[in-house]
Amino acid sequence: MEPDLLAQAAGSPFSGRARRHYAAAVNGGVINLLEPIGLSKLHSDLYLDLLATPRSMPVDIATRLDQPIGRIRKALQGLLDAGLASRLVGTRSRYVAAPPEVAIDALVARRSKELEQLRLHAHELAVRARTAVPPSEPSELIQLVEGVEAVSHHLARLQHGAREEVLIVDCPPYIYGRPMANAEEIQALRRGVKYRAIYDATALARTGHLDDMLDCVNEGEQARSLPEIRMKMIIADCSLALVPLSFSAAETGTRLLVRPSPLLDALVHSFEALWVKATPIGSVLPTDGVGLTEQDRRLLSMLAAGLKDRAIARALGVTERTVGRRTHELMVQLQATTRFQAGLQAVRRGWL
């Protein structure tokens, strides 16, 4: 065992100048290398000292680090348990540091697995907590969330906690006065959460909103639109919803957090009813060699969303005449006599 460990130490990058560098770092107390993996500053100092001075005995280490021998022995055991050090066979206890490029990678991988297991256990506990004791008071079914920061926090938390599907109805007014990119949705989509979203067609004409929506569609969101909607809501896993205090009032920065109840069931049914009526929106793919431009792609998406020429022109930064001309050309290409027919043909051809 001892020759192998010595060979590893000799072949490690911690020799010569590197050892002197780490020795100086230890003496200066400026490095806490192992803190990210849950070990103390003493463990870090001890590991660096072993890298700089292999085959050390506890009494020598205690002298160099100016620590009680008992504390050094306990910290050495911690390094042994973590796989960051080894004890050499012999009559006296001598220690060497494991090669960092091997030992630390293995330890990080093990800790990552443990954290993932903890995350799964936390999710199971959360599910049990929600189902163990059914709410007995109306006040427990609905919680009032007041203030822009509190609403934003609950919107993010609701999506971070989603495991299966998030349902969204997006329409004005907005808590920041305009639509905002949904970074939490992109993260959730990438970890496998499904999203279905219904957009108010007039809201998509606002600067940047269509692009943000198409970014989500390209990540996997299923999107549809309606000419005008006011039932603003977000529902996670059909178990938690956030809705405005009123569907008709101006934005107040106040939401209702709705837990499992007949009211939540009604919100889910309302979403499904709107979903059936809404027009699908999607990213546009020229699958038959049409050679669509990026502007054509956005134009078709907005036509499918039900936007009028004026709103499309404003979103594209062109004139209404240009929008009308290109819309007519696309309708001819699709052999459609109405915008609705053009949308159907685009879906059938795989453009949407």
81-110 pLDDT per residue, tens: 888 888 887 657 888 888 877 667 777 777
Least confident of 6-10, 28-32, 54-58, 171-175: 6-10
- The residues with which 195 forms a beta bridge, in sequence order, are 166
Q: What secondary structure letter does DSSP report for 36?
A: G
Q: How far is CA 114 from CA 102, 126, 166, 191, 232, in A?
A: 19, 18, 28, 19, 39
Tell me yes or no: is domain 142-281 CATH 3.30.870.10.
yes
Question: Residues 320, 321, 322, CA angle at the centre, nearest 5°?
Answer: 90
The CATH topology of domain 294-348 is Arc Repressor Mutant, subunit A (1.10.10)
Report pLDDT digits (tens) over 268-320: 999 999 998 887 776 555 545 456 777 887 787 777 777 788 888 888 888 88
pLDDT band at 238 (very low <50, low <70, confident <90, very high): very high
Percentage of the residues of the chain whose pLDDT score is greater than 70: 77
pLDDT at 17 over 60: no
Of 91-95, 137-141, 274-278, 338-342, which has the strongest mean pLDDT?
A: 274-278
- Structurally, at CATH architecture level, domain 2-104 sits in Orthogonal Bundle (1.10)
Alpha helix (H) residue ranges in the chain: 2-11, 17-28, 41-52, 58-65, 69-82, 100-132, 138-141, 148-160, 183-190, 201-204, 209-219, 262-277, 294-304, 309-316, 320-333, 339-348
pLDDT at 12 over 50: no
Report if pTM > 0.95. no
pLDDT averaged over the chain? 78
* Alpha-carbon gap, residue 160 to 123, rounded angstroms: 11
Higher pLDDT, 209 or 306: 209
Least confident of 122-126, 263-267, 284-288, 292-296: 284-288
214-238: average pLDDT: 88
Least confident of 22-31, 235-244, 261-270: 22-31
* Alpha-carbon gap, residue 308 to 302, rounded angstroms: 8
- Which among 50, 141, 139 has a CA at the least distance from the CA of 100? 50
Is 339 within 8 Å of 303 (Cβ atoms)? yes
Is 306 within 8 Å of 279 (Cβ atoms)? yes
At residue 343, the pLDDT reads: 67
Least confident of 26-30, 45-49, 271-275: 26-30
At residue 288, the pLDDT reads: 53
Cβ-defined contacts of 240-247 (< 8 Å, 24+)? 240/158, 240/161, 240/264, 241/267, 241/268, 242/145, 242/151, 242/154, 242/155, 242/158, 243/267, 245/144
At residue 237, the pLDDT reads: 94
Higher pLDDT, 323 or 235: 235
* Alpha-carbon gap, residue 78 to 314, rounded angstroms: 65
- Our CA dihedral for 251, 262, 225, 289, rounded to 10 degrees, sits at 140
Asked whether the domain spanning 142-281 has the same topology as the one spanning 2-104, the reply is no
Higher pLDDT, 104 or 22: 104
- CA 239, distance to chain mean position in Å, is 20
At residue 11, the pLDDT reads: 42
Give the residue extent of every domain in the chain.
2-104, 142-281, 294-348
pLDDT band at 249 (very low <50, low <70, confident <90, very high): low
